[in-house]
């Protein structure tokens, strides 16, 4: 997978600026523009409390088309009532005028503090600079501008060969806190120059989100603003990919790799996290049982503080399995930390010290084999530290 600064899909330009939305001194406003109207798809939070920009995007995405996305960090424009909706519409209207793109082709996303109206004066003042920076800013600048408590910008690119040409999928996202499945608190923008039929891209995006972003949890809190938007502007000039296309497979694979890679970056940058954790549950009776078990472990504060403390405290994993609702028998269960099997047939294998050594790694894999069936599930999460508490106790101060 290509990293930072390695080219972007054809026909996209970027712009960022600082509007002092939460505080001055950083980029917090960004716009992504495609030269030509693009096919679009989106996935949104299932929280019943949805921010104004989410409600606005959910309406527009029905058209399956779009050309620009404006994003701000520092303020979520959530729980802001009718004023919040008017503000989101006003920003779209003003930006669309400056950039010469119809308002109906504009999408808007916000992330940050909930319940405070957007500082419209400062945002309006910043729009000319935003327009002026078009083409000067990079996709990496956008990834930086959408950060909240993230400690690094998250950008990934993946090449795909389609009909003798090489297209590109680029993805950027932000995460860090209020991360739970359905979906992670995240904004994610996926851009490609490969032509894909609208129905196909919508279904591929749903599948990718289900298999990656919906399988991560940082703190179990579900956000009001989660949004994944994907644009395919077709400037590669290939025959649009459909459900029957020979290039469907490679495109799906590349999209999965980008979203999975971003999901891994999200958990490794979870608020206060020092370790990335992959919870793998195998041998479950059904996929739903496997998933319940994996999420129960991945959401347990006690499991996650133990991993932070390099303590192979598998009893907490057993307890989390026990209240997960998954059907299993304690006396058949095996548990490993990385390659060290600490529990065999429900009992201690006397390898806690070895496992404690293994837990000093930055990448932890907890493997649970229930020996109850053939289903499995993986969930990504991170450890749980004092720093998480500190960040979230002081977030608005």
Beta pairing class for 347-348 and 334-337: unpaired
Beta pairing class for 187-192 and 227-232: parallel
* Residue 211: CB minimum distance to a second copy, A: 21
* DSSP secondary structure letter of residue 191: E
Contact predicate 273/218, CB 8 Å: yes
* Residue 18: CB minimum distance to a second copy, A: 23
* Residue 132: CB minimum distance to a second copy, A: 33
* Residue 262: CB minimum distance to a second copy, A: 22
Is position 185 annotated as part of the catalytic site?
Answer: yes
Nearer to a second copy, 268 or 385 (CB): 385
Q: What are the distances in angstroms from CA 204 to CA 9, 10, 230, 264?
A: 19, 21, 10, 19
How many other C-beta atoms lie within 10 A of the C-beta of residue 347?
Answer: 10
Nearer to a second copy, 165 or 353 (CB): 353
Nearer to a second copy, 47 or 200 (CB): 47
267 burial type by CB count under 10 A (0-12 exposed, 13-18 middle, 19+ buried): buried
Q: What is d(CA 227, CA 249) in angstroms, rounded to the nearest whole number?
A: 25
Beta pairing class for 29-44 and 276-284: unpaired
**What are the counts of helices (DSSP H) followed by strands (DSSP E) for the chain?**
11, 14
Q: What is d(CA 92, CA 86) in angstroms, rounded to the nearest whole number?
A: 10
| Catalytic one of 45, 185, 212, 326 | 185
Question: Which DSSP string corresponds to 318-361?
Answer: HHHHHTTT----GGG-EEEETTEEEEETTEE-S-HHHHHHHTTS
* Residue 394: CB minimum distance to a second copy, A: 5
Contact predicate 101/60, CB 8 Å: no
* Residue 22: CB minimum distance to a second copy, A: 13
In the complex, the residues that contact a second copy under the rule CB under 8 A are 46-50, 76, 78-81, 113-116, 177-178, 180, 219-224, 299-302, 305-306, 308-309, 311, 313-316, 318-323, 328, 330-331, 343, 345-348, 384-386, 388-390, 392-397
* Residue 330: CB minimum distance to a second copy, A: 5
Nearer to a second copy, 178 or 265 (CB): 178
Contact predicate 75/112, CB 8 Å: yes
Q: What is d(CA 298, CA 295) in angstroms, rounded to the nearest whole number?
A: 5
Q: Which residue is associated with the tokens 């059904």?
A: 286
* Residue 360: CB minimum distance to a second copy, A: 13
Q: CA torsion, points 258, 262, 208, 64, in degrees to nearest 10?
A: -80
Nearer to a second copy, 1 or 347 (CB): 347
Nearer to a second copy, 99 or 222 (CB): 222
| CA 171 and chain centroid, separation | 10
Contact predicate 366/277, CB 8 Å: yes
Nearer to a second copy, 34 or 223 (CB): 223
Q: Which residue is associated with the tokens 């940050």?
A: 112
Nearer to a second copy, 243 or 322 (CB): 322
Catalytic residue set: 185
């Amino acid at each position: 997978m290509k990293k930072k600064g390695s080219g972007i899909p054809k026909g996209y330009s970027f712009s960022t600026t600082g509007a002092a939305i939460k505080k001055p001194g950083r980029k917090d406003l960004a716009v992504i523009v495609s030269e030509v109207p693009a096919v679009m798809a989106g996935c949104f939070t299932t929280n019943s409390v949805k921010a104004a920009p989410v409600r606005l995007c959910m309406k527009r995405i029905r058209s399956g088309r779009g050309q620009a996305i404006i994003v701000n960090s520092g303020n979520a424009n959530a729980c802001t009532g009718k004023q919040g909706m008017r503000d989101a519409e006003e920003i779209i209207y003003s930006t669309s005028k400056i950039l010469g793109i119809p308002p109906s082709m504009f999408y808007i996303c916000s992330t940050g503090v909930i319940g405070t109206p957007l500082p419209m004066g400062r945002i309006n003042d910043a729009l000319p600079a935003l327009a002026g920076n078009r083409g000067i800013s990079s996709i990496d600048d956008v990834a930086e501008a959408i950060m909240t408590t993230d400690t690094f910008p998250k950008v990934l690119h993946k090449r795909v060969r389609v009909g003798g040409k090489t297209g590109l999928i680029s993805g950027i996202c932000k995460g860090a806190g209020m991360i739970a499945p359905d979906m992670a608190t995240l904004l994610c923008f996926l851009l490609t120059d490969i032509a894909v039929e609208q129905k196909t891209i919508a279904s591929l995006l749903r599948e990718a989100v289900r298999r990656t972003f919906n399988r991560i949890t940082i703190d179990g809190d579900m956000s009001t603003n989660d949004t994944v938007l994907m644009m395919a502007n077709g400037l590669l000039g290939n025959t649009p990919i459909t459900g029957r296309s020979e290039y469907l497979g490679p495109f799906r694979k590349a999209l999965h790799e980008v979203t999975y890679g971003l999901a891994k970056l999200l958990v490794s940058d979870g608020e206060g996290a020092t370790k990335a954790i992959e919870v793998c549950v195998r041998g479950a009776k059904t996929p739903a049982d496997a998933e319940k078990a994996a999420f129960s472990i991945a959401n347990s504060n006690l499991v996650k503080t133990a991993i932070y403390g390099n303590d192979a405290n598998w009893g907490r994993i057993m307890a989390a399995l026990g209240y997960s609702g998954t059907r299993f028998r304690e006396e058949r269960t095996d548990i490993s930390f990385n390659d060290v099997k600490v529990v065999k047939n429900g009992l201690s294998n006397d390898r806690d010290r070895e496992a404690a050594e293994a837990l000093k790694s930055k990448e932890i894999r907890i493997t649970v084999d229930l020996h109850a069936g053939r289903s499995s599930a993986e969930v990504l999460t991170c450890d749980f530290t004092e720093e998480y508490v500190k960040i979230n106790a002081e977030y608005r101060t």
